[in-house]
Structure 1
Amino acid sequence: MTTDKIVNHTDIKLQKSIGVFQGMCIIIGIIIGSGIFVSPIGVLKYTNSVGMSMILWVLCGLFSALGSIVYAELGVTIPKSGGEYIYILESFGPLSAFICMWITFVTIGGVSLAANSLIFAQYILQPLFASCDIPNSALILVGLLGLASIAAINCYSVKWATRATVFFTISKVLALLIIIVIGFYKLFRGNVLSFTDPFADSNTSPGSLALAFYQGFWAYAGWNYLNFLTSEMINPARNLPIAIIGSLTIVTVIYVTTNIAYLAVLSPREMLEISSKSVAVAVVFADQTMGMFSCLMPIFVGASVFGSMNGEFLSVSRLTYTAAGQGHLPESLAMVSIKYLTPMPAVIFLAALSVVFTFTPSISYLIELAGFSFCVISGMAVSCLIYLRIKCPNLPRSFKLPLVLPIMFLLLDLFIGILTVYEKPTDSLIGVAIIALGIPIYIIFVVWKSKPKSVTNLTESLTIYIQKTFLVVPEEKEN
């Protein structure tokens, strides 16, 4: 019995249901997670001045915007779902693409979701444990419930997943607007002490600025995720660049004004003291300004992280789905639910990996590893664009940048990576080792075709079992 014989359906494929507004909400929803509620402390710590921290926030936004418009051209040049994976596959071949998939799925997707699930749990539970530490078992339980809920939504309906993204995006933007309004009200009432001599004692060493940049850049992380959903976008040639550029502009304005609002209420010293309390700066801000309503802010932060997790699930599961379609992951992960028309096995597989990492005690290091890993992947992806411009100059492109912009992004990306290796050589070597581990895995599971018959029989039986259990079939290919 072959996997294709279980059902014969003429329209089993992912649907085009993402327009400009939904696309912008997906990007904003992923980017605005826990970062803007936590990262301001790290940026201020490493820059040591209000003025320099503001410059870093703007620079992080500009760098992310530059990367996003480069990715927009990649997305319309190769209009397929899968993000960096598919671009690298089309340009540099299967081994490079597999390593990209390995890095993204393991160190960026699974680890980030696991970490965010615990952050989500921390802020949802904080009002219940205001006077004591939250038990680790409670954190894990609520984190797992969060992961399960988002996985269920993404298995059930792409439309409901995008609607959830829209809802949580609007909620988190409203929470930040509340902070901005209160902060600017205080600022106009004369609370400007934090902005007096803003560059005093600035730390300008390259190493410290690199660490500050990573803190801010982490808050902007996620601007590339819409490229994982290109084939599900309505008119991606037009809508993808608009959604990416529009969302990054909105996020940068929100981030800079939010930081000004924080500092209109909290002094730099008060903000730095927060780092020892394991709470979000927004929570302390609310305690000082919102009175009896301050208990709502941890819930807002938790909802913000929940929405970011939903966007990650929506995007990274498509990477899994695309890689499986190319033979780089088990065949069953490239299948679509007959009833719901969602990549159900890919979503469940990503959720299972995230659950494993939820129990990892060294999750904080793995999150730092994600930043270094993204530098590697984004550098490879932008190299694809430069390569295609030179080798295939006549490819149809509805959106085309001056070549100097992708070259500039690549040079900046390499510079940040070099500074990382310089500042943390041991951690960087461990990161390189994890990346290199993808090579033997690729050889064993992809290149090695003459596996024993017992292994192939087991694989086929598992594929059929998954099809029967979840009622999934291969996507109907267009003629």
Structure 2
Amino acid sequence: MQIIFTVVKLLLISAIVIGGFVEIANGNTENFENGFDGTNPSVSAWAVAIYNGMWSYEGWNQLNFVSQELVDPERNFPLVIIGGIPLVTLLYLLVNVSYFTVMSPSELLQSPAVATTFGAKVFGSFSWIVPVGVACSTLGSSNGNAFTSARLAYAAGGKGHFPRFLGYLSNERLTPLMAVIFNAVIGIVMVLPKSSNIKNLLDYFSFATWTLYALTFISIIIFRFRKPYCDVERKFKIWLPFPILAAAISLYLIIAPLIEEPSLAYLLATCIIFGGLLFYIPFVYLDWNLPFGIYNKIEIFCQKYFEVVPVSAQELKTE
């Protein structure tokens, strides 16, 4: 099913790009002549603009979460990264160029659904393919993220950084069912408040995400010197200037929005991230247990009603 969604998305993108080039061939290029009019030259404003755009590319890091399930990661991981990210970037840029062939910047900003507006102007009676393609793209993105992000909670549960039952697998389908449910609950909680809208969610998500990215890149640099490559087995080695540059960019994307548009959203995101220490220190670092055997009861409940088991105790079904 994921392959079908991906193919439909690529076909829609190709149709939009071809439609845009047809418009350019017909001389519809007036929106490119003053395309940067009104642009804010502030360096700190660029970070806010990047926040509003980078979430579209957020899938670039998802492969890291499923590296254990990747065949021959030493070979395939770099190939997927080197081939996938430039291809997606090129396609998205071409799609935006196509949008500007039929919409001015103000029209694009005011449109409730840019792709649908483009389809109505270019495809005519066949404009219905755009919402259908967007729906398939959304379902594919949700399905892919459910698959990859669940592996993060699953791995953390297996390592003891999250509750152990998050590291359990379904005895029927061999999937991290509890981790999927955990992520679904977080998603529901995020969209329930009345103040929840796309801008607030992007502010929370982008700031928190780039904070975690910065910590990750910095940790790579630290481990390179504290635990050299020869002392620790790694699937592949990263050229050191890459994490240094990535850490610098991440710090810029964290600090610049605080200067340009100070918001309580950034403070709340910081509190949520470091608030995790309130659980990590006592229950992971100090290895405390909940009173009255509450934790064991939760584990038994999950195993009984969701039919999940620890990986080490799992018996694979045979036909």
**Same fold by TM-score greater than 0.5:** yes
Partner residue of 2:189?
Answer: 356
- Which of the pair has the greater relative contact order for Cα pairs under 8 Å at 6+ separation? 1
* Aligned-partner Cα distance in 2 for 1:398–1:356: 36
**CA positional deviation for 1:255:** 1.0
Per-residue deviation, residues 216-272 of structure 1 (Å, max 9, x unmatched): 212111211111111111111111111122110110110111111111121223213
The equivalences for 1:168-183 within 5 A come to 168-183=5-20
Is 1:468 the counterpart of 2:300 in the alignment? Answer: no
Is 1:345 the counterpart of 2:182 in the alignment? Answer: no
SS at 1:313 equivalent: helix
2:45–2:256 contact (8 Å) kept in structure 1: no
- Indicate how the Cα distance of structure 1 residues 270 and 390 shifts in structure 2: closer, same or farther if over 3 A, else same: same
- Indicate how the Cα distance of structure 1 residues 350 and 326 shifts in structure 2: closer, same or farther if over 3 A, else same: same
- Indicate how the Cα distance of structure 1 residues 285 and 449 shifts in structure 2: closer, same or farther if over 3 A, else same: same
Per-residue deviation, residues 379-408 of structure 1 (Å, max 9, x unmatched): 111112211221223245564443222211
Partner residue of 1:293?
Answer: 126
* Aligned AA (1:302): A
Per-residue deviation, residues 133-161 of structure 1 (Å, max 9, x unmatched): xxxxxxxxxxxxxxxxxxxxxxxxxxxxx
Partner residue of 2:203?
Answer: 368
Choose 374-383 or 343-352, whichever is displaced more: 343-352
* Aligned-partner Cα distance in 2 for 1:331–1:210: 38
* Aligned-partner Cα distance in 2 for 1:267–1:201: 13
Partner residue of 1:89?
Answer: none
* Aligned-partner Cα distance in 2 for 1:331–1:409: 32
1:238–1:398 contact (8 Å) kept in structure 2: no
The equivalences for 1:123-272 within 5 A come to 164-272=1-109
- Give the one of 105, 114, 117 matched to 1:284: 117
Partner residue of 1:85?
Answer: none
Identity %: 35
* Aligned-partner Cα distance in 2 for 1:170–1:328: 37
Q: How many residues align?
A: 309
* Aligned-partner Cα distance in 2 for 1:477–1:389: 35
* Aligned AA (1:289): V
Partner residue of 2:317?
Answer: none
* Aligned AA (2:219): C
- Indicate how the Cα distance of structure 1 residues 293 and 452 shifts in structure 2: closer, same or farther if over 3 A, else same: closer
Per-residue deviation, residues 102-135 of structure 1 (Å, max 9, x unmatched): xxxxxxxxxxxxxxxxxxxxxxxxxxxxxxxxxx
- Indicate how the Cα distance of structure 1 residues 397 and 167 shifts in structure 2: closer, same or farther if over 3 A, else same: same
* Aligned-partner Cα distance in 2 for 1:227–1:405: 16
Partner residue of 1:436?
Answer: 274
1:336–1:472 contact (8 Å) kept in structure 2: yes
Structure 2 stretches lacking a partner, 5+ long: 315-319
* Aligned-partner Cα distance in 1 for 2:297–2:109: 56
- Indicate how the Cα distance of structure 1 residues 200 and 340 shifts in structure 2: closer, same or farther if over 3 A, else same: closer
- Indicate how the Cα distance of structure 1 residues 252 and 450 shifts in structure 2: closer, same or farther if over 3 A, else same: closer
2:5–2:136 contact (8 Å) kept in structure 1: yes
Partner residue of 2:252?
Answer: 415
* Aligned-partner Cα distance in 2 for 1:186–1:380: 45
| CA RMSD, Structure 1 to Structure 2 (Å) | 2.1
* Aligned-partner Cα distance in 1 for 2:215–2:313: 29
**CA positional deviation for 1:201:** 4.3
**CA positional deviation for 1:451:** 4.1
